[in-house]
Amino acid sequence: MRLTVNGEMGDYADGLTVADLLRERGHDPAVVVVERNGQIVPAADFAATSLCADDVLELVQFVGGG
């Protein structure tokens, strides 16, 4: 299925969840905020949120510094 992630279109497996996508892209779910089609996906829902063709996602990872 075709998804847009952080402005880049790509092909992904059907049936992918938000948790699967984060794992596939090497993101730690504990430090990532996911927006799907303009709506924030709560971290508790990552594993239960199935992605659909043409979804638009923004992944924002928190980075600490000092």
What pLDDT does residue 26 have? 95
Q: Give the domains, in start order, of the chain with CATH numbers.
A: 2-61 (3.10.20.30)
What pLDDT does residue 66 have? 64
> What separation in angstroms does the CA of 49 have from each of 2, 60, 64, 65?
16, 17, 27, 31
Q: Model confidence over 1-57: pLDDT tens digits?
A: 999 999 999 999 999 999 999 999 999 999 999 999 999 999 999 999 999 999 999
What pLDDT does residue 63 have? 75
Q: Note the pTM of the prediction, 2 decimals.
A: 0.91
